[in-house]
Structure 1
Amino acid sequence: MTDFSNSTLLVTGANGNLGRIVVEELLARGAKHIVAGTRDTAALAGFADRGVDVRRLDFDDAASLQSAFAGVDRALIISTVAANRTEQQSAAIAAAKAAGVSYLAYTSAPNARPNADAGGIADHYWTEVAIAASGLDFTLLRNHIYADMTIVGAGSALASGQLFEATGGKGRNYVTRADAARAAAGALLTATGKQILDITGPAPVQQAEVAALYTKLTGKQVTAVTLTGEQLLGGLQAAGVPSFMAQLLVAFDLDAAQGHHAVVTDAVKQLTGREPESLEAFLTANKAALAG
């Protein structure tokens, strides 16, 4: 297996929940030259104290992209959450190529495609196209929905006793954010060539099973309630979820209903050397968070 631990490795969005874990994993796996890109360099002072090169990186600031990618061999672009993220990420790809970066990893989504019904997922498709067109080597990490999101959604489900969803009873293969981050670090450290990988958990889980886990771990009865996409979108917007995020969440549910989230791969083990954590194990370990 190729070892790039002596290469200069950049992580964008390094102050985010995923980015921080990626940097920690790179440190743990012996990376010698880590660059952490963030809009707020002060927030990563702790990494700087540990030898990480912390650089300002703002996807909307061309000058910061140029300086952040300077001297970098391999980079992980963590997808942004913005209405203009296709433009943001295309600018980052162009800056990487101009700086002489040889390899890009990118955190994408399952079944990335340009269709109008894809919602924010279309942004991932066009970013993938830009990466492929760059001529650089790459790994497109199609991260399936994070197991961590089931904790975010637990509050309203436990309060109402109902878990609203539009997956049509189909399963989705939750992957923990930590497993996805460790896989991304593994790609930076070892991947070669050009590849697309679905980053998944060990097995698909239906929403009725998620509701049953909530019940089992808290003692509060929760039942899954299947809605249409339109009904779910209306409910999310009525609850105050921003339109962009509500549309993205509904698009994910509708993709699951078509079976796109039931994929099972060994990509996590391939890139990390360890089996991915199951949703049940994750929720059991985070049982206290369900109550809070």
Structure 2
Amino acid sequence: MSLIITGASGTLGRLTAEAVLTAHPGADLVLVTRSPDKLADLAARGAEVRAGDFDDPATLADAFAGGKRLLLISTDAVGARVAGHRAAIDAAVAAGVTAIAYTSVGNPSDSNPAAVAADHRATEDHLRASGVAWTFLRNSIYTEMLVDGARAALANGTYLVNEGDGATSHVARADCAAVAAAVLLATGDAHANKAYDVTGPAALTATERAAIFAEIGGRPVTATLVDDDAWVAAMVEHAGLPESAARLYATFGAAARLGYSGAVSTAVEDLVGRAPRSVRDVLAERL
């Protein structure tokens, strides 16, 4: 049975492919990417690398041929990716794929203010209606995304956030990959038509994260809570972000502030057989 991973040259795709090949060196694994040359090392380990581009649906029939179980890794074009996701789902169904796992986001409800929620909700809806078995891997915010902010906070002593007292259950990207690999490699239909919140072991507030930054970096850090507009202005002025990007990122803080980002699950332990990595452990390797 061929297993297919899309977006395989991206960080999550590569980590998932490595997890599959480590667990099952002889796995019938197909890696689909827009950049096949980036996966020569995994081809040397036995994976088949194929070119495929969601924005060019004509490439997907060959890319997905022979596949039975597929991991659809969401692309990063927020607000412009649903058409590509739908094209990939439709092409997979036409190619005979019988189960699709999709990397979504926690709580993609229509009331969630996070800018990414609408795209994920639309993709989930299309996958549910496709007729194949689906699995939603609703990954929390990656812990690795804290690194730049932690470094800046250690440099100036202030961790500026717009999430108030809200908490986020950050998860290590490698843990998300391990869960995805477990779903791909599972026997039978153990994960058919199920949604998993893939989270870290705890939901932490900005104040709690600031204390971790300080502990690791050996410098005092204070969390400073501001509103959305003040946070956007600071990111534009001091971090050099375009205002449009800053406003998009601000929606994640708003989601945490309103309670959409704090769910904690046992998915990593249940599917992988070990506890997820903590924010402290991940950042200690990177700061």
Q: Deviations over 1:83-115 (max 9, x none)?
A: 411111111111111111111111111111345
What's 2:87 paired with?
91
Tell me the amino acid that sits aligned with residue 45 of structure 1: A
**Secondary structure of the equivalent of 1:113?**
coil
- 122, 129, 147: which one aligns with 2:125: 129
Tell me the amino acid that sits aligned with residue 102 of structure 1: T
Distance change in 2, residues 1:242/1:87 (3 Å)? farther
- 96, 101, 125: which one aligns with 1:100: 96
Determine the C-alpha separation between the residues in 1 that align with 2:54 and 2:249.
Answer: 23
Gaps of 5+ in 1: 1-6
Residues 121, 248 of structure 1: 8 Å contact kept = no
Tell me the amino acid that sits aligned with residue 250 of structure 2: V
What's 2:20 paired with?
26
Residues 113, 124 of structure 1: 8 Å contact kept = no
**Secondary structure of the equivalent of 2:67?**
coil
Determine the C-alpha separation between the residues in 2 that align with 1:203 and 1:126.
Answer: 28
CA deviation after TM superposition for structure 1 residue 19, in Å: 0.8
Q: Which moved more, 1:123-132 or 1:158-167?
A: 158-167
CA deviation after TM superposition for structure 1 residue 188, in Å: 1.2
What's 1:178 paired with?
174
Distance change in 2, residues 1:232/1:37 (3 Å)? same
- 71, 75, 79: which one aligns with 2:74: 79
Determine the C-alpha separation between the residues in 2 that align with 1:61 and 1:228.
Answer: 41
Tell me the amino acid that sits aligned with residue 90 of structure 1: R
Q: Deviations over 1:254-285 (max 9, x none)?
A: 1111222211111111221111111112222x
TM normalised by structure 1 equals: 0.91
**Secondary structure of the equivalent of 2:168?**
coil
1:258 equivalent to 2:252? Answer no
Determine the C-alpha separation between the residues in 1 that align with 2:248 and 2:96.
Answer: 34
Could you list the structure 1 runs, at least 4 aligned residues long, displaced by more than 6 angstroms after superposition: none
CA deviation after TM superposition for structure 1 residue 63, in Å: 1.7
Residues 114, 126 of structure 1: 8 Å contact kept = no
Q: Which moved more, 1:242-251 or 1:210-219?
A: 242-251
1:279 equivalent to 2:276? Answer no
Determine the C-alpha separation between the residues in 2 that align with 1:87 and 1:243.
Answer: 26
1:56 equivalent to 2:20? Answer no
Determine the C-alpha separation between the residues in 2 that align with 1:142 and 1:261.
Answer: 11
Determine the C-alpha separation between the residues in 1 that align with 2:206 and 2:172.
Answer: 16
1:194 equivalent to 2:193? Answer yes
What's 1:12 paired with?
6
Distance change in 2, residues 1:116/1:151 (3 Å)? closer
Distance change in 2, residues 1:57/1:118 (3 Å)? same
What's 1:3 paired with?
none
Determine the C-alpha separation between the residues in 1 that align with 2:168 and 2:16.
Answer: 24
**Secondary structure of the equivalent of 1:15?**
coil
Residues 114, 254 of structure 2: 8 Å contact kept = no
TM normalised by structure 2 equals: 0.93
Gaps of 5+ in 2: none
CA deviation after TM superposition for structure 1 residue 245, in Å: 4.2
Q: Deviations over 1:99-155 (max 9, x none)?
A: 111111111111113458442221111011111111111110110011111113222
1:45 equivalent to 2:40? Answer yes
1:70 equivalent to 2:69? Answer no
